[in-house]
Structures are given as C-alpha cells and as structure tokens.
Amino acid sequence: MGLNKMFLSKNLVFLWIVILLSLLSACGGKRAVKPTVDDSAPASGATPKTNTGKYYLDDGPGENPPANIDLIPDATLKTEALLPRANKPYTALGQRYVPMTSYSPYQKQGIASWYGKRYHGRKTSSGEVYDMYGMSAAHPTLPLPSYARVTNPANGRSVIVRINDRGPFKHNRLIDLSYAAAYKLRLAGQGSGLVKVEAIDTSPQAMQGLPKNVAIPADANLAINTSDATTSSTLPPPLDITPTLETQQYYVQAGAFRSETNGNLLQKKIQSLELAENVGLANVYNNGLYRVRLGPYTSKAEANASAANIRKRLNTSAIVQLQ
C-alpha cells in the first residue's frame, strides 16, 4: 500500500511538472510579432512604388531616376569605327539576321519597346555597359555602333540615339529604346508605341562642317543626302511638324475624358483586347481633355475599319481624325 502511495505521489509530481512546463512554454510563445506590411499600400503622403508586375520579366523604371530625364542630352554624333565581331550574321529565336556593315539610307516605321532596370549595368552586344539613362537603343540590323533619329509621330517628339545593342527579336517590334529615350518620346508609360527610325550618316564626309562632339538638338532636322559628300556648315532650321498634304496621317480617337485615370483605363482596355496591334496608342492631354488615340494609319479606310471595330468591341464613340 505504501509503495502504491509513493508511486502515485511521484506520478502527481511528474504530472504537475509537465503542466508547469507547458504553461511556461505557452507564455514564452506569446512574443510580440511585428505586423506584416502591405508594400502595395504606401504610407499617407508617400509616392506609390512602381507596379513592376506590368513590365516584362520584372523589368521597369529604376527606383531612383534622375531629377529631370527630359534634360538628358541626345547622343553625340561622331564618326566611329564599326565593330566586326558585333556586325556578323547571327540567329536569334530561330530567325537569321544580317547586320549592315556600312552606312546605308534607312527609314522605317514600326513599334518601339524599351528596356530598363533588368538590363541596367549589363553588357550590350557591342561590349559596352548598358545605361538605362543614356540615349541608346538596340536594333537587329543597324551597324554597331551607329546613330539614328527616332520620332514619335503621335506627338512630334524626336530623339537621337546611339545603336549599341541587338534586339528586339519579336516579329512586330522595330527597335528597343533605352528608358531615357522612351521617356523623352513619352512611350515609357505605355510600354511601346509607333515610331519612325531614320539612320544618320556619321561618316567623315557627312560630318564635315558639323562641330565635333556636339549633340544635335532633338528638334533639328538633319538632312542626309547620299549624292553630296558634304553638308552645310550651319545647323538646319528646327523640324517643322506642321501637317502638309504629304505628311497628314489618320488617327482614331477612341475616347476623350477630363480625368486622366479614365483615359488610362480605356488605354489599358484597348491594349488587353489587342485593338492597337500595329499602331501607336497614347493617352494625350490636349485642350483640357485626355484623348486616347491610336495611329497613325496608312489609309483612311484602315482608320475607319479600326474605329468601327473599337465602337463594336467597346461601345464607344470612336472617331477618325486627320492630322
């Protein structure tokens, strides 16, 4: 009987020890935990972070861009020797490309995209380090290095870039701009847009009379005449973007809003439905309204067909405009 009491007492003591340890463990486990912060909800008064989810492969603008990107000067025109290793025929994504090995007149209109922080600091096809805030671009076949004027026909903005990389390799893309170049053309926010690309002859003959290592202003019209080896010793007058009978083009205005947000929403809707596959798309502020415009189109018939399709798909009063 005494042994049973002793065994029972030991069990009670052991049980109390277990209970006590459990209580101590529970108390010790109730530590103050810092609440999880939702990074998508900025603090009051703070500038929201860029939603990198809308950029391809987490690419996008840098976290600390220069104060005024519009003040970044255009690429400085100068004669440069071409890089043999960077201008050899090559294959990308199953398609063969044959780069130019000398200057040849080149003017083409197509869709421009841009690349930013994902490639910032990496080597380009020319071996140089990519600077997203420099005035550079990638092209599948223009010589490396070379220079080109890129114009946004939707707003008349123009920049001069130095071609120092290869790409883009999507069948519907013409050129990949640096972030700074795309920003100055007002294409950075929409990701891509229609541009006109014109190669610039920087051979010693063509450069005669031009000041050495001086950037040509973005609004200067640099004429290239392959039949004449020299150019004027003075800069030509600013580019006149006033429409003429030869330069007028057709656009489609899909909607006009007092709120920029509403314009952006319509722009994203058009993008999601792929209604602007081969033309530029922009939300342009003009005369107190934000106008969502597509174009330019190669003909009035093409613009009318696009407007009719937008009216049908989005139930908006899309109209054709001549500019």
Question: Where a domain ends, among 207, 233, 266?
Answer: 207
Looking at the structure, tell me whether residues 275 and 190 fall in a common domain: no
Rounded to an integer, what distance in angstroms lies between the CA atom of residue 192 and that of residue 112? 5
Looking at the structure, tell me whether residues 196 and 59 fall in a common domain: yes
User: Is 84 within the bounds of a domain?
Assistant: yes
User: Is 78 within the bounds of a domain?
Assistant: yes
The domain that holds 288 is classified in CATH as 3.30.70.1070
Question: Where a domain ends, among 156, 184, 207?
Answer: 207
Give the three-class secondary structure for 4: helix
Element (H, E) at 59: none
Looking at the structure, tell me whether residues 152 and 262 fall in a common domain: no
Question: Where a domain ends, among 207, 233, 264?
Answer: 207
Looking at the structure, tell me whether residues 312 and 201 fall in a common domain: no
User: Is 158 within the bounds of a domain?
Assistant: yes
Q: Can you give the pTM of this predicted structure? A: 0.51
- pLDDT for position 157: 94
Taking CA 162 as the corner, what is the angle to CA 160 and CA 163, rounded to the nearest 5 degrees?
125
User: Is 46 within the bounds of a domain?
Assistant: no
Looking at the structure, tell me whether residues 89 and 198 fall in a common domain: yes
- pLDDT for position 25: 43
Taking CA 102 as the corner, what is the angle to CA 98 and CA 105, rounded to the nearest 5 degrees?
90
Rounded to an integer, what distance in angstroms lies between the CA atom of residue 262 and that of residue 257? 6
Cβ(194)–Cβ(111) under 8 Å? yes
Looking at the structure, tell me whether residues 176 and 302 fall in a common domain: no
Q: Specify the number of domains making up the chain.
A: 2
Looking at the structure, tell me whether residues 77 and 194 fall in a common domain: yes
Cβ(217)–Cβ(70) under 8 Å? no
The domain that holds 145 is classified in CATH as 2.40.40.10
Q: Tokens at residue 239, please? A: 């580019």
User: Is 191 within the bounds of a domain?
Assistant: yes
Looking at the structure, tell me whether residues 197 and 287 fall in a common domain: no
Cβ(107)–Cβ(196) under 8 Å? yes
Looking at the structure, tell me whether residues 191 and 58 fall in a common domain: yes
Q: In sequence order, what E strands does the chain have?
A: 90-92, 95-97, 107-115, 136-138, 146-151, 158-165, 175-178, 192-200, 250-257, 280-286, 289-297, 319-322
Looking at the structure, tell me whether residues 167 and 294 fall in a common domain: no
Q: What are phi and psi of 6, to 5 degrees?
A: -65, -40
Looking at the structure, tell me whether residues 86 and 150 fall in a common domain: yes
Owning domain of residue 120: 52-207
Mean pLDDT by 10 residues, the chain (323 residues): 52 59 45 31 31 47 78 93 93 92 92 86 90 94 96 94 93 92 92 93 77 40 33 38 52 88 88 83 80 86 90 89 81
User: Is 93 within the bounds of a domain?
Assistant: yes
Q: What are phi and psi of 76, to 5 degrees?
A: -85, 120
Looking at the structure, tell me whether residues 254 and 200 fall in a common domain: no
- pLDDT for position 71: 93
- pLDDT for position 207: 80
